[in-house]
């Protein structure tokens, strides 16, 4: 028998971890290990227990059963500070920045006390540190003035500044365009080569599979196994995640009707970070907006909805659209599904029912009094049709998973009979695979009824599968239009990259600050 080679050191091991929140068993006897130099992907639907597992590994949550070892030492007290001392760094999905403090101050606070520079040299140190990571950011600017993509990168840098043995990345690419994703992956691979154990959580299977060595799949709090990344296919993983093969990922598209009336027309619209833009969307059409993050796509959509300031002309169904306030577009039947669900689209503590019916209360009220039964009746069909998974319609919307929250905000345009245009900003961000299809189907169903929709998404695959036509934006303007018969993930990505020749992500981001 030959002597076995050196076994890679297991730097993170979660052993037999279980955790329940009330009656819900979030994790059941899950064991995961991550070796030095390994990139370990953790995938699963929303609510499958990924976040709980990360929370336990990073010391934010205490497990009911089981143990966590970091670098060979057991995590005794369950606090983020204790996990950090043992050598764990984590990049949170929703970041750990203090937005009112400067970039330099945030970096300073992210470093362990003993490794911090003298207080007075913070800014020059911050500049040098960012340079190490090939990142150019204004160090004295408040972190809140950075773009989301910049914040996301900064979050990963902050985690790395602790010189971790174990790095946990929770959805680190949600705000990044394809080019920035590659930049991030290069950084992650470099860390792995240097011997850091990396646990990488992502919804984006192609992305995570491109860099991962091993993959662990979670479903309903139970591990479905750990596999070498080379031996699994996306289809196979999806099947493990949802427990059934996904028949078709996107709803069927009808043949486009080139003679349909133009429903939304935009002429020379421009705002702080986009324009001038000319655009026409026909009845029954779903138009996709692609582009590297931070090229004005979101601002354009928000300007159309009257949320952001803009000059220029827009009309809906022949009538001029007053975009000076959200009221004008709303009255004209243009509704925005904000990407910031918690902040803008939903009232997190209110029930599913209240969230769904709030725009149409006048219709549901009789003599000024809203009958709950009338409300429930109004949404009963829609809840079923959109497959909102919940205990009851009285449940606070914040207790639902991301995908189900999105579905609740999607009920609104269905309740109003007079909606003509749906503007959807990242409609499936943070939404699991199964729920995505329901959302696509809802949007397509609305289009088939004669509405128009504009979908802004950072996922090229989604745009290719869902849309009738995709426009690519760069530096605030439309630089390319991809017709239906050419649509494909590769085509869109190429358009995004091609349209940005000679422009780095950093130049673009810097221009927005």
Q: Which is nearer to other proteins, 24 or 99 (CB)?
A: 99
CA-to-CA distance for 494 and 329, rounded, in angstroms? Answer: 34
Q: Which is nearer to other proteins, 186 or 311 (CB)?
A: 311
Minimal distance, residue 129 CB to other proteins, in Å: 15
What are the helix (H) ranges across 86-214?
103-110, 122-132, 148-161, 178-193, 205-211
Q: Which is nearer to other proteins, 47 or 271 (CB)?
A: 271
What are the helix (H) ranges across 256-333?
297-304, 327-332
Minimal distance, residue 12 CB to other proteins, in Å: 18
Minimal distance, residue 404 CB to other proteins, in Å: 23
Residue position matching structure tokens 């597992």 = 53
Q: Which is nearer to other proteins, 111 or 260 (CB)?
A: 111
Minimal distance, residue 168 CB to other proteins, in Å: 12
CA-to-CA distance for 382 and 297, rounded, in angstroms? Answer: 30
Which positions touch other proteins (CB under 8 A)? 60, 80-81, 84-85, 90, 92, 95-101, 105, 108-110, 112-113, 116, 119, 158, 270-273, 275-276, 309-311, 474-477, 479-480, 498-503
β-strand partners of 281: 264
Give the DSSP letter of residue 125: H
Minimal distance, residue 178 CB to other proteins, in Å: 17
Q: Which is nearer to other proteins, 78 or 387 (CB)?
A: 78
Contact (CB, 8 A) for 361 and 426: no
Give the DSSP letter of residue 254: P
CA-to-CA distance for 107 and 77, rounded, in angstroms? Answer: 25
Residue 22: Cβ-neighbour burial (10 angstroms; 0-12, 13-18, 19+)? exposed
β-strand partners of 15: 67
Residue 5: Cβ-neighbour burial (10 angstroms; 0-12, 13-18, 19+)? exposed
Minimal distance, residue 22 CB to other proteins, in Å: 17
Residue 390: closest CA among 419, 411, 371, 367: 411
Minimal distance, residue 461 CB to other proteins, in Å: 24
Residue 249: Cβ-neighbour burial (10 angstroms; 0-12, 13-18, 19+)? middle
| Phi, psi at 182, each rounded to 5° | -65, -40
Minimal distance, residue 108 CB to other proteins, in Å: 7
276-310 b/e with 16+ CB inside 10 Å = b? Answer: bbebebbbbbbbbbbbbbbbbbbbbbbbbbbbbeb
Minimal distance, residue 476 CB to other proteins, in Å: 8
Minimal distance, residue 358 CB to other proteins, in Å: 26
Contact (CB, 8 A) for 441 and 252: no
Contact (CB, 8 A) for 301 and 423: yes
Residue 458 Cα distances to 46, 287, 421, 462, 483, angstroms? 19, 14, 20, 8, 18
Q: Which is nearer to other proteins, 33 or 150 (CB)?
A: 150
Minimal distance, residue 99 CB to other proteins, in Å: 7
């Amino acid at each position: 028998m030959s002597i076995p080679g050196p076994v890679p050191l297991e730097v993170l091991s979660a052993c037999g971890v279980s955790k329940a929140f009330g009656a819900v068993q979030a994790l059941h006897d899950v064991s995961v290990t991550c070796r030095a130099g390994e990139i370990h992907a953790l995938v699963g639907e929303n609510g499958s227990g990924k976040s709980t597992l990360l929370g336990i590994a990073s010391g934010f949550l205490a497990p009911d059963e089981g143990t966590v070892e970091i670098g060979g030492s057991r995590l005794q007290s369950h606090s983020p500070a204790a996990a950090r001392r043992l050598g764990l760094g984590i990049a949170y999905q929703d970041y750990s920045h203090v937005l009112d403090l400067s970039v330099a101050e945030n970096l300073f606070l992210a470093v362990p006390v003993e490794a911090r520079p003298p207080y007075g040299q913070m800014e020059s140190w911050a500049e040098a540190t960012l340079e190490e990571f090939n990142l150019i950011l204004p160090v004295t600017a408040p972190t809140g003035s950075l773009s989301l993509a910049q914040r996301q990168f900064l979050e990963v840098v902050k985690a790395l500044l602790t010189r971790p043995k174990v790095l946990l990345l929770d959805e680190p690419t949600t705000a990044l365009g394809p080019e920035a994703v590659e930049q991030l992956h290069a950084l992650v691979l470099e860390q792995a080569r240097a011997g850091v154990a990396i646990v990488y959580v992502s919804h984006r299977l192609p992305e995570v599979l491109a860099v991962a060595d091993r993959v662990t799949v979670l479903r309903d709090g139970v591990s479905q196994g750990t596999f070498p990344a080379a031996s699994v296919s996306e289809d196979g993983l999806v099947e493990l995640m949802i427990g059934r093969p996904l028949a078709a990922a996107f709803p069927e598209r009808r043949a486009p009707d080139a003679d349909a009336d133009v429903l939304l027309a935009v002429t020379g619209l421009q705002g702080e970070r986009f324009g001038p833009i000319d655009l026409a969307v026909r009845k029954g059409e779903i138009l996709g907006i692609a582009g590297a993050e931070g090229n004005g796509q979101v601002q354009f959509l928000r300007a159309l909805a009257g949320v952001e300031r803009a000059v220029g002309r827009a009309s809906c169904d022949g009538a001029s659209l007053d975009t000076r306030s959200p009221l004008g577009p709303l009255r004209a039947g243009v509704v925005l599904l904000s990407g910031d669900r918690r902040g803008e689209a939903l009232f997190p503590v209110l029930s599913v029912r209240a969230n769904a019916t709030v725009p149409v209360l006048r219709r549901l009220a009789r003599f000024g009094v809203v009958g709950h039964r009338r409300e429930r009746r109004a949404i009963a069909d829609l809840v079923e049709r959109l497959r909102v998974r919940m205990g009851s319609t009285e449940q606070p919307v914040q207790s639902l998973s991301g995908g189900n929250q999105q579905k609740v905000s999607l009920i609104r345009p269905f309740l109003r009979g007079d909606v003509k245009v749906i503007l959807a900003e990242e409609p499936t961000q943070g939404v699991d695979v199964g729920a995505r299809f329901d959302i696509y189907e809802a949007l397509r169903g609305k289009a088939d009824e004669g509405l128009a929709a504009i979908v802004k998404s950072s996922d090229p695959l989604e745009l290719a599968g869902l849309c009738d036509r995709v426009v690519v934006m760069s530096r605030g303007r439309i630089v390319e239009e991809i017709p239906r018969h050419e649509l494909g993930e590769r085509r869109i990505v190429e358009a995004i990259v091609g349209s940005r020749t000679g422009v780095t992500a950093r130049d673009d981001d810097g221009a927005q600050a």
